Amino acid sequence: MPSRPVDSTALARIVRRLAAAPAAPWLHTEVARRMGERLALILRTPDSVLQWWGGCGGGDDVLASAYPAARMWSVEPGAEAVRRREAALRRPWWSARRWTTATPVVLDEADTVTARVGLLWSNMALHWMADPRATFARWKRALADDGFLMFSTCGPDTLAELRALYREHGWPSPAADFVDMHDLGDMLVEAGFADPVMDQEQIVLTWPDAESALAELRLLGGNADPRRWPALRTPRWRRELCDALAARRDAQGRIRLRFEIVYGHAFNAPPRAKVAARTEVALDDFRAMTRRPSPSTGKDRI
What is the distance between the alpha carbons of residues 299 and 302, in angstroms, rounded to a whole number?
Answer: 10
Report d(CA 91, CA 114) in Å as an integer: 26
- Contact, 81 vs 19, CB < 8 A? yes
Q: Could you tell me the CA-to-CA distances from 256 to 134, 152, 195, 207 in Å, in that order?
A: 34, 22, 36, 7
Q: pLDDT of the chain along its 302 residues, tens only?
A: 445 789 999 999 999 999 999 999 999 999 999 999 999 989 889 999 999 999 999 999 999 999 999 999 999 999 999 999 999 888 665 555 554 556 789 999 988 778 899 999 999 999 999 999 999 999 999 999 999 999 999 999 999 999 999 999 999 999 999 999 999 999 999 999 999 999 999 999 999 999 999 999 999 999 999 999 988 999 999 999 999 999 999 999 999 999 999 999 999 987 765 656 665 666 665 565 555 444 333 433 32
The H-assigned helical ranges of the chain are 8-20, 26-37, 60-66, 79-89, 96-100, 132-142, 160-168, 181-191, 210-220, 235-246, 283-290
Topology of domain 8-155+178-201+261-269 in CATH is Rossmann fold (3.40.50)
